[in-house]
Structure 1
Amino acid sequence: MSNTEIFLIAMLVIFTLPYLIWRLGRTDYFAPLVVVQIITGILLGPGVLGNALPDVYQFVFNPVVVQGLNGVAWWAVMLFVMIAGIELDLRKAWEHKRESGITAGLALGVPLMFGSVVAVLMLPFPGWMGQKALSWQFVLGIGMSCAVTALPILILLMEKLQILREPMGQRILRYASVDDIAIWGVLALIMLDWTRVGRQAIFLVVFGVVAFGFRKLMQAIEEKDRWYVALIWLALCSFAADWAGLHFMVGAFLAGAVMDAEWFNQEKMDLLRHHVLLVMMPVFFLSTGLKTNWTLGGVVVFFVAAGLLFASISGKWLGIQIAGRILQWQPGEASIIAWLLQTKALIMIIFANILLDKAIITDATFTALLLMAIGSTMLTVPVVQPKLARLRELISRSA
């Protein structure tokens, strides 16, 4: 077979298998399609399919096919991260700055500390910290992975729970938006490369100047042109950030963050996010699964993943409980918000991919983080839905 034919076989598997598992298994309550696609990517990776059927794995996912899949995955995740940047609404957070600052700070800070403790415990053991990492980069990277909230997936889950447009849903989006800025800021700090600090300084200065002009341009042109210009801007920012050593996904987020959501029709933006998830992101999930590794032994990886999951959930829960006490929330409100904000999925997987690409973590650590993200996301709806049923009146409570 030609590599084109093998590529199409891989695409057939990528889109068919998770859909059949999701639809026939009726997993939507505890595992939305996006989670099933991530799990399927792991099953198709070297740790499972590669061990069970090595000849099949090497035939379908040969280097040429994987290179093609990676190209699709890179562009898909750049689009997705740009949309996440566009959807940040920090003006609302500023209007409620005391509440948003206290809640977002505790929601980020406590799980970050808990995750950092787990990372410190991992340091003495070989095989977890990447070859190019300093200890502080590894600890901070793992800690932040435990603190991440997946804003795009949070939106999807709150739509499913029918609270996205309610006051509680909008409050939760504010908290997640503030944390998103902090998360990408910390990532940029971890990515600082002192051998390329000149390039990085040049990038930040030039980006600030060019972004000012770009905003003026976007305000002057019609909406139909903004969509095309936004894609050009995305490619330019991603290239420049990668050239500077900050990683192209940092550039993709910055490209979106300097754009205003009001510049685009909201329904079209929602459709774009939906279509990127439908058409392109499954390829990213597969390429993510191809990076999983069980060389340290499945049991060890699962133990580490369980420790990270505990740090993530308990840290988020404790942080939000403290915020609820300070802000005098109603009983049960903090628990609902904490469980929604601990949703990991895509953003944490993207975050972990960057750490892996930069050799801050190893394949084994990446696998543990991926398992933690899946467990975190699968727990959200089954835990939150009964709580909402008992405390439905909280949804209509204004900030």
Structure 2
Amino acid sequence: MHTMTTTEIFLIAMVIIFTVPYLIWRLGRTDYWAPLVVVQIIMGIVLGPGVLGKAFPEYYTFVFTPDVIKSLNGIAWWAVMIFVWIAGIELDLKKAWAYKRESSITAGLALGTPLLFGCGAAVAMMAFSDGWIGAQGMTWQFVLGVGMACAVTALPILILFMEKMEILRQPIGQRILRYASLDDIAIWGVLALILLDWERVGRQGMFLLGFALLAYVFRKLMVAIQEKDRWYAGFIWLAACGLAADWAGLHYMVGAFLAGAVMDAEWFNQEDMDKLRHFVLMIIMPVFFLSTGLRTNWDVGGTAVFVAAAILLVASVAGKLAGVHAAGKILKWEKGEASIIGWLLQTKALIMIIFANVLLDKQIITNETFTALLIMAVASTMLTVPVVSPKLQKMKAMILRSK
């Protein structure tokens, strides 16, 4: 009788990862309320230990052996590093500076209000039951981490949604990108603060100083070389920054974002960058979604996890809408404008999941908290297109208004 090798089992896992979500998305025609990326995230949860793993433990132990999981994790690490790197490159701070008053007011309220709401939700979770704070987490880290998870905007997914709704290149789409870009910087800055390790603060200081010096040299190099060489140099830079950040205790994801943030989008053909994002999402990010699903857990009780997810969802959506509406009143936006912008900015997916993965890696949150955050991210993302599309149809004139 043939004993299946690790390679064969790994390829079985890959067939499952790519086949199941695609068939559900294509045959179920879910694109309006659940794009393929959302279906992949959901199926990552379903295929993990919390759902199918408990219903069919033989399937789970056969397919997801320790060796297979290690292989999948390696692909997932590189996939998400590239994705975060692209998000960093696409930050456009020049436009944000050109509209600094409007951008700073909107971005500040759009981030700060859901952050406060999320911190309140974290406190409520701790009062509700135990089992949410990780073994290495302190209360302030947990509260701030969960609060920031509620404030996150998924910039790459936001771009995909706005492309789908044909507003990305319109004035309102460019404004939303400015707000999301500023919030992206704040998100990673807060993450670095949460991960600050006083036992390794010297090493982290060395990393930041060395990064600043090398980034200056790297930027000079990138300007001097041809575009085809910039891609190779960029990936080398990405791996090196991820390694250095992880060595310093700031997590490789912080390094990946910094690696992209010091690069200029103008160095690359925009069409090529769009294709890279598309192919990363299609080819290797599904492995990250499955790898994420394998980390879900319901040990504090399924009801408690879903209650926590509901509390987080309300805090996230209500906080984002309240903050953006406040900005709209200050800046005297047209009626309905704040609602569209707020609903788009509350899109969580990917970046929040990446953020939560870092908190879980550092044992600041438990698998149960991670599961609740994951459910919240999926729900908030699934709400976006069905809520925003009808609003856009009513306000076509506003979309075309130049700022």
Q: TM-score, normalised by structure 2?
A: 0.99
Task: Give 1:128-147 correspondences, 5 Å limit.
Answer: 128-147=132-151
Q: Residue in 1 aligned with 2:60?
A: 57
Residue 389 of structure 1 aligns with which residue? 393
Query: Shift in Å at residue 120 of structure 1?
Result: 1.2
Q: Hey, what does 2:70 align to over in structure 1?
A: 67
From 27, 44, 48, the counterpart of 2:47: 44
Secondary structure in structure 1 of the residue aligned to 2:350: helix
CA separation in 2, counterparts of 1:51 and 1:353? 22
Matches of 1:40 and 1:135, distance apart in 2: 32
- Which amino acid in structure 2 is aligned with residue 380 of structure 1? T
What amino acid sits opposite 1:261 in the alignment? A
Which deviations, in whole Å up to 9, do the C-alpha atoms of 1:276-313 show, x marking residues without a partner? 00000000000000000011111110110000000000
How far did residue 121 of structure 1 move? 1.7
* Uncovered stretches (5+) of structure 2, i.e. residues with no partner: none
2:198 counterpart SS class: coil
Query: Which residue identity does 2:393 align to in structure 1?
Result: A
1: CA distance between counterparts of 2:392 and 2:270?
27
Pick the aligned partner of 2:225 from 210, 221, 227. Answer: 221
1:63-91 superposed Cα distances (whole Å, 9 cap, x missing partner):
00000000000000000000000000000
State the distance in 1 between where 2:7 and 2:218 align. 39
Tell me how large the CA RMSD over aligned residues is: 0.5
Task: Output aligned runs, 1:239-258, within 5 Å.
Answer: 239-258=243-262
2:395 and 2:242 mapped to 1: Cα distance? 44
- 2:126: which partner in 1? 123
Aligned residue type for 1:75: W
Structure 2 counterpart of 1:306, from 310, 335, 349: 310
Residue of structure 2 in register with 1:27 after alignment: 30
CA distance in 2, matches of 1:143, 1:280: 29
The match for 2:20 is 17
CA contact (8 A) 1:123 1:135 kept: no
1:278 lines up with 2:285 in the alignment: no
Shift of 1:123: 2.4
Write out per-residue CA displacement over residues 21-60 of structure 1, whole angstroms, 9 at most, x where no aligned residue.
0000000000000000000000000000110000110110
Contact 1:153 1:346 in 2 (8 A): yes
**One-letter code of the match for 1:153?**
I
Q: Which runs of 4+ in 1 moved over 4 A?
A: none
Q: Alignment length, in residue pairs?
A: 399
The aligned runs of 1:340-359 (5 Å cut-off) are 340-359=344-363
Give the structure 1 partner of residue 199 of structure 2.
Answer: 195
Seq. identity, %:
72
Q: 2:177 & 2:210 partners in 1: Cα distance?
A: 31
Structure 1: which 5+ residue stretches go unaligned?
none
TM-fit CA distance, 1:142: 0.3
1:174-228 per-position Cα deviation (integer Å, ceiling 9, x unaligned)? 0000000000000000010111111100000000001100000000000010000
Letter in 2 for 1:160: K
**From 354, 371, 377, the counterpart of 1:373:** 377
Alpha-carbon distance in 2 for matches of 1:308, 1:257: 29
TM-score by length of 1: 0.99
Give the distance between the partners of 1:364 and 1:347, measured in 2 at CA.
Answer: 19
DSSP 3-state at the match of 1:256: helix
Give the letter for the 2:265 counterpart.
Answer: A
Matched, 1:320 2:350: no
